[in-house]
């Protein structure tokens, strides 16, 4: 599929979160025509959070995404501008993310509906194939990279769309074939009539 023909946008995030507190987005990746991603500086110093929250954040770094709290690409305030630019650029597209929790949070962040890839047969990401901006080896080699996941999910969705197009195409061509045969029969029958009409006077 050519890039300009895409009607979908895939978004994924890696975050710092603790229980039901609002998650802090650490990495966000958006795949529309191209793959864009940011690694954000959290909005507050880690020591302004409770010990319980800091424990959860450290656990996420060690066991999941490998992103360090202090790792910086853009200030957190840039997230709003980034989201606005995505909304402007892809205003007429359908937005996708994987997992109900992410869909809910991203819907709030973007003010748009997100369709949940978990409601399709979209498989989990199994490897990291895309170069991430993070300098952390644990992150860039692991599967919990927003950039990597957005790219893999887009690849999956494009395959699904191509399959649907092929099926729709074969139905269309079957219909064309039936219409063509029907038209041929009508033309054949219509073609018979004048000759029969011509034949009859000759008999008279």
- 78-89 and 100-110 helices, crossing angle to 10°: 90
Closest distance between Zn ion and the C-beta of residue 141, in Å?
A: 10
Tokens, residue 60:
């996420």
Closest distance between Zn ion and the C-beta of residue 71, in Å?
A: 10
CB atoms near residue 99 (< 10 Å): 14
**Candidate segments 86-94, 114-122, 141-149, 158-166, binder of Zn ion by CB under 5 A:** 141-149
Please say whether the beta carbons of 158 and 1 come within 8 A: yes
Closest distance between Zn ion and the C-beta of residue 29, in Å?
A: 7
Give the one residue of 6, 98, 105, 147 binding Zn ion; rule: CB under 5 A.
147
CB-wise, 28 or 83, nearer to Zn ion? Answer: 28
CA dihedral angle for residue 126, residue 98, residue 96, residue 4, rounded to 10 degrees: -10
Phi first, then psi: give them for residue 11, nearest 5 degrees: -125, 140
145 is an interface residue for Zn ion by CB under 5 A = yes
CB-wise, 73 or 158, nearer to Zn ion? Answer: 73
**Candidate segments 54-62, 147-155, 170-178, 189-197, binder of Zn ion by CB under 5 A:** 147-155
Please say whether the beta carbons of 12 and 109 come within 8 A: no
**Candidate segments 50-58, 71-79, 133-141, 192-200, binder of Zn ion by CB under 5 A:** 133-141
CB-wise, 8 or 67, nearer to Zn ion? Answer: 67
CA distance 127 to 69: 23
Name the residues that contact Zn ion, by CB under 5 A: 132, 134, 145, 147
């Amino acid at each position: 599929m050519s890039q300009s023909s895409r009607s979908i946008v895939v978004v994924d995030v890696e975050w710092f979160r603790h229980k039901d507190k609002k998650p802090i987005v650490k990495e966000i990746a958006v795949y529309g025509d191209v793959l864009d991603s940011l690694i954000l500086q959290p909005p507050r110093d880690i020591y302004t959070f409770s010990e319980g929250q800091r424990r959860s954040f450290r656990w996420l770094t060690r066991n999941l995404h490998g992103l360090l709290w202090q790792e910086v690409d853009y200030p957190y305030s840039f997230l709003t501008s980034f989201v606005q630019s995505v909304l402007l650029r892809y205003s007429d597209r359908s937005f996708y993310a994987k997992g109900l929790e992410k869909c809910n949070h991203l819907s709030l962040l973007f003010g748009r509906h997100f369709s949940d890839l978990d409601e399709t047969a979209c498989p989990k990401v199994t490897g990291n194939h895309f170069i991430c901006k993070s300098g952390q080896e644990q992150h860039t080699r692991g599967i919990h990279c927003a950039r990597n996941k957005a790219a893999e999910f887009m690849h999956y969705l494009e395959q699904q769309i191509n399959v649907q197009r092929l099926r729709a195409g074969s139905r269309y061509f079957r219909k064309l074939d039936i219409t063509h045969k029907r038209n041929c029969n009508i033309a054949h029958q219509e073609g018979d009539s004048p000759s029969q009409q011509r034949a009859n006077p000759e008999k008279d």
